């Protein structure tokens, strides 16, 4: 891929945090550029050529987004990002239908913006069921079936988890929801452009999309809202009535165009990219396993996007490992909570014990990752894990055959 040199200079760390954000594809940036400069019109201006030009561009992009998920362009509305899309979908549906139904179902491993929105709705008097996931991170469909009641208005299950990359059985969930006449929302921020999505085949009623997770710009996202059968929402942002009244505010033309182009590229290249990433994922895992024992991949390895690995390096604390691998940009969990010291709630939901959760790293591979970068990353990881294990009292005890669980640890 020729674009690599444009993405990373040699003196920069290797970027392996593609679930936090992706670099923009230079091709996306290129199509955005004119809309920053000479094609700067407000798509809401109907009185002159600048406005028409902007409107045309925004509508073309809307079509590109719709196509990626098998939707009609009329069903796509622009937002400022997946966080807003998730807030709008869940709150919008809950509030619109609250006189008839007041129960929402979601899972414990959702993104924080979904969980926070649900908690807020609970305070408003809605009932929310947070379904557990299995040890592999996947939702048990029988558990879902059992949770749906006459009062259930919405099921919100993410398509791909941001920390462990597992893919939820969307088509099966959609089928259950449709049968039970419950709306199905999926947060597809990590899934769109990575795995095939089809709102018709999967019976998805609402879908959140993010620009900056698919090599597009930050500050833009989309929400798919089904028209047949129609899903109705209470808007969150009121004003000029843009986006069919669902979401007011001047549309940022260059960002819309960028999201559209990112979707178009993803659609064209998804197949080859997935193969490329699967190879890299395997290469990384093989490389690590060849030289390190006691490493565990968290989350299902099969039902997973190839661009993600979440690994516990037993007996090595994750933060100290991150501090060592200075040449690698990885994370110990979701970016939102990077600065906090709490172990990941997603890993805990999988039943990963806290001591193992403390040893986990999220490694995100993406479009611009090369084999050479993977090899360098493996070397760095092996070197530092080995070094840190040599200074880990837990590793020492384990080597001596002491069962760490038999020790009474002094809590502090």
Residues annotated as catalytic (active site), given as ranges? 336
158 near other proteins (CB under 8 A): no
Nearer to other proteins, 354 or 379 (CB): 354
The rounded Cα 365 to chain-centroid distance in angstroms is 13
Which range in 61-69, 123-131, 140-148, 232-240 contacts other proteins by CB under 8 A? 232-240
- By beta-carbon proximity to other proteins, the closer residue of 126 and 395 is 395
According to CB under 8 A, which residues from 183 to 202 bind other proteins?
none
Among 102, 136, 303, 320, the residue binding other proteins under the rule CB under 8 A is 320
- Give phi and psi for 276, each to the nearest 5: -60, -45
Q: Does 124 bind other proteins (CB under 8 A)?
A: no
Q: Kindly report the backbone phi and psi dihedral angles of residue 108, in degrees, each rounded to the nearest multiple of 5, phi listed first.
A: -75, -10
State the number of CA atoms in the 13 A half-sphere of 78 facing the CB. Answer: 30
| Residue among 337, 370, 376, 382 that touches other proteins (CB under 8 A) | 337
Query: What secondary structure does DSSP assign to 71-139, as a single string?
Result: --GGGEEEESSHHHHHHHHHHHHHHHTTTT--EEEEETTS-HHHHHHHHHHHHTT-EEEEE---TTSPP
Q: Find the binder of other proteins among 3, 296, 323, 402 (CB under 8 A).
A: 323
SS3 388: helix
- Give, as ranges, the residues between 358 and 397 that touch other proteins (CB under 8 A): 358, 390-396
Relative to beta strand 76-79, strand 103-107 is: unpaired
Residue in 1, 18, 48 with CA at minimum distance from that of residue 328: 18
Q: How far is the CB of 70 from other proteins (least distance, A)?
A: 26
Nearer to other proteins, 70 or 219 (CB): 219
Instruction: Please say which residue, 24 or 206, places its beta carbon nearer to other proteins.
Output: 24
Does position 228 bind other proteins by CB under 8 A?
A: no
Query: What own/partner pairs with CB < 8 Å and gap ≥ 24 does 138-143 have?
Result: 138/166, 138/168, 138/169, 138/300, 138/303, 139/107, 139/168, 139/169, 139/173, 141/169, 141/172, 141/173, 141/176
Task: Count the site residues for other proteins by CB under 8 A.
Answer: 98
**Selected range binding other proteins among 151-159, 210-218, 265-273, 374-382, rule: CB under 8 A:** 210-218
Q: Please report whether residue 152 would count as binding other proteins according to CB under 8 A.
A: no
Instruction: Quote the CA–CA distance of 138 and 131 in Å, as a whole number.
Output: 11
Contact with other proteins (CB under 8 A) among 27, 34, 51, 376 = 51
Q: Which of residues 300-319 bind other proteins (CB under 8 A)?
A: 315-317, 319
Q: Does 30 bind other proteins (CB under 8 A)?
A: no
């Amino acid at each position: 891929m020729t674009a690599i040199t444009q993405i990373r200079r040699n003196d920069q760390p290797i970027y392996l945090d593609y679930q936090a954000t992706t670099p923009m594809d230079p091709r996306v940036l290129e199509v955005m550029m004119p809309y920053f400069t000479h094609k700067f019109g407000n798509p809401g201006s109907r009185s002159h050529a600048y406005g028409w030009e902007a409107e045309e561009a925004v509508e073309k992009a809307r079509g590109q987004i719709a196509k990626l998920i098998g939707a009609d362009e009329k069903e796509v509305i622009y937002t400022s990002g997946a966080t807003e899309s998730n807030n709008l979908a869940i709150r919008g549906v809950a509030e619109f239908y609250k006189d008839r139904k007041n129960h929402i179902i979601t899972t414990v491993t959702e993104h924080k913006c979904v969980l926070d929105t649900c908690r807020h709705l609970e305070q408003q008097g809605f009932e929310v069921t947070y379904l557990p996931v299995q040890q592999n991170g996947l939702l048990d469909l029988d558990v879902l079936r059992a949770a749906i009641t006459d009062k259930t208005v919405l099921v919100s299950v993410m398509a791909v988890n941001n920390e462990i990359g597992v893919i939820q059985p969307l088509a099966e969930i959609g089928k259950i929801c449709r049968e039970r006449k419950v709306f199905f929302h999926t947060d597809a921020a990590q899934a769109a452009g990575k795995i095939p999505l089809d709102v018709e085949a999967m019976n998805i009623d609402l879908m959140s999309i993010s620009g900056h997770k698919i090599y597009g710009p930050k500050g833009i996202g989309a929400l798919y809202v089904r028209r047949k059968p129609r899903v109705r929402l209470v808007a969150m942002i009121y004003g000029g009535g843009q986006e069919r009244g669902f979401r007011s505010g001047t549309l940022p033309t260059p960002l819309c165009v960028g999201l559209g182009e990112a979707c178009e590229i993803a659609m064209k290249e998804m197949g080859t990219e997935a193969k490329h990433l699967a190879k890299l994922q395997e290469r990384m895992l093989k490389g690590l396993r060849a030289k390190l024992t006691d490493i565990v991949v968290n989350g299902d390895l099969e039902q997973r996007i190839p661009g993600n690995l979440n690994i516990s390096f037993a007996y090595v604390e994750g933060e100290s490992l991150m501090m060592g691998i200075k040449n690698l940009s990885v994370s110990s969990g979701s970016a939102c909570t990077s600065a906090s010291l709490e172990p990941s709630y997603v890993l805990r939901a999988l039943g990963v014990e806290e001591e193992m959760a403390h040893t986990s790293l999220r490694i995100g591979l993406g479009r611009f990752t090369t084999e050479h970068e993977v090899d360098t990353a493996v070397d760095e990881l092996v070197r530092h894990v080995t070094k840190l294990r040599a200074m880990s009292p837990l590793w020492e005890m384990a080597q001596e055959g002491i069962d760490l669980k038999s020790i009474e640890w002094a809590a502090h």
